[in-house]
Structure 1
Amino acid sequence: MQFFQRFKDFAIKGNVLDLAVGIIIGAAFTTVTQSLVNDIIMPPVGKIIDNVNFSNLYIPLDQKARGIPTVEDARKAGAVIAYGNFLQNVINFLIIALVVFVLVNAVHSLRKKEAEKPVDPPAPTKEESLLIEIRDALKAMQPGNTNPS
């Protein structure tokens, strides 16, 4: 029974929940970034470099796979090194890394600005307020003080 209680305490802790939320957001972010690369960035890049479809770039290792236009068909014909897919994944990684870098820098900048803001002094505690009243009362009782409060 103690095992289940410890597991429940572990699972309910904020760190585990934060980690789970981070993983879910990361997976969604990866999907969006892959769509950005595959659907928006790579088509113009392919058009600029003579209508090259990166996903179909490969090096045939078997004579039978030579000259086949798609990497899937070439794989059926023989062994190939599909470097186009690798290029696509490298570009995905670089874009994700750039976006994460920009986001982290923005968060650090906001935190730095927040830390640089002047902090108002805390309100005096009850004890401090009482001591201030006592001090002021003692000053008022001193001889020569013509300003009664």
Structure 2
Amino acid sequence: MANENKVVEAIKSKKGIIDEFKEFIAKGNVMDLAVGVIIGAAFQNIVTALTGSFINPLISLITGGCKTDENGNLIPVGGQFKINGVAFDYGAFISAVINFFIMAVILFVIVKAVNKAMELGKKKKEEEEKAAPPEPTKEEILLTEIRDLLKEK
């Protein structure tokens, strides 16, 4: 009997955890965070492609030039140096720094735009609330009806 009670209590506590998790997921902040992560990953892919396709060849040209393979694709030559046979690829580091700054600027612009839109929405809502008179309460409606009935008599 004691074991059955423990099993029932464990099931009830797990059900509570599941309900609590559903409530947590349903909150807007979690969904906003998930959307932000997905959009961030998409922007990261775009920025990585930009850096790899355009910025890295420029870095290679500036730091030592490029050569082409048999298909005519550019192969970066510069952007690294060797000490005792160990290659230090500072071109990849510069590329990562540029990648970071591009992502930071994009995120800054997005956050700035969202904050501006939210601020405008808040101002518009406040203006609408000021323009529209508040709805009369039930008591006010009742008192108005009583007043009108007394005026008729």
> Do these two structures clear the TM 0.5 threshold for a shared fold by scoring above it?
yes
Matched, 1:29 2:36: no
Aligned to 2:116: 109
* Residues 60, 81 of structure 1: 8 Å contact kept: yes
C-alpha change, 1:110 and 1:33, in structure 2 (3 Å) is: same
Mapped partners of 1:43, 1:10: distance in 2: 48
C-alpha change, 1:137 and 1:14, in structure 2 (3 Å) is: same
Aligned to 2:140: 128
Among 68, 80, 84, the alignment partner of 1:58 is: 80
Mapped partners of 2:114, 2:134: distance in 1: 27
Mapped partners of 1:50, 1:104: distance in 2: 35
* Residues 11, 17 of structure 1: 8 Å contact kept: no
C-alpha change, 1:90 and 1:50, in structure 2 (3 Å) is: closer
* Residues 56, 84 of structure 1: 8 Å contact kept: yes
> What is the percentage of aligned positions where both structures have the same residue?
37
Matched, 1:5 2:53: no
Question: 1:105 is paired with a residue of what secondary structure?
Answer: helix
Mapped partners of 1:28, 1:19: distance in 2: 14
Unmatched 5+ residue regions in structure 2? 1-10, 67-75
Aligned to 2:3: none
Question: 1:124 is paired with a residue of what secondary structure?
Answer: coil
Quote the RMSD (CA, aligned, Å). Answer: 3.3
Aligned to 2:92: 85
Question: 1:80 is paired with a residue of what secondary structure?
Answer: strand
C-alpha change, 1:83 and 1:43, in structure 2 (3 Å) is: closer
TM-score, normalising length: structure 2 = 0.61
Mapped partners of 1:43, 1:80: distance in 2: 17
Question: 1:60 is paired with a residue of what secondary structure?
Answer: strand
Aligned to 1:65: none
Aligned to 2:104: 97
Compute the displacement of 1:30 (Å). Answer: 1.2
Instruction: Give the structure with the higher percent strand.
Output: 2
Mapped partners of 1:115, 1:21: distance in 2: 22
C-alpha change, 1:45 and 1:5, in structure 2 (3 Å) is: same
Residues paired across the two proteins, number: 125
Compute the displacement of 1:110 (Å). Answer: 0.9
C-alpha change, 1:114 and 1:58, in structure 2 (3 Å) is: same
Q: Which has the higher contact order (CA 8 A, sep 6+)?
A: 1
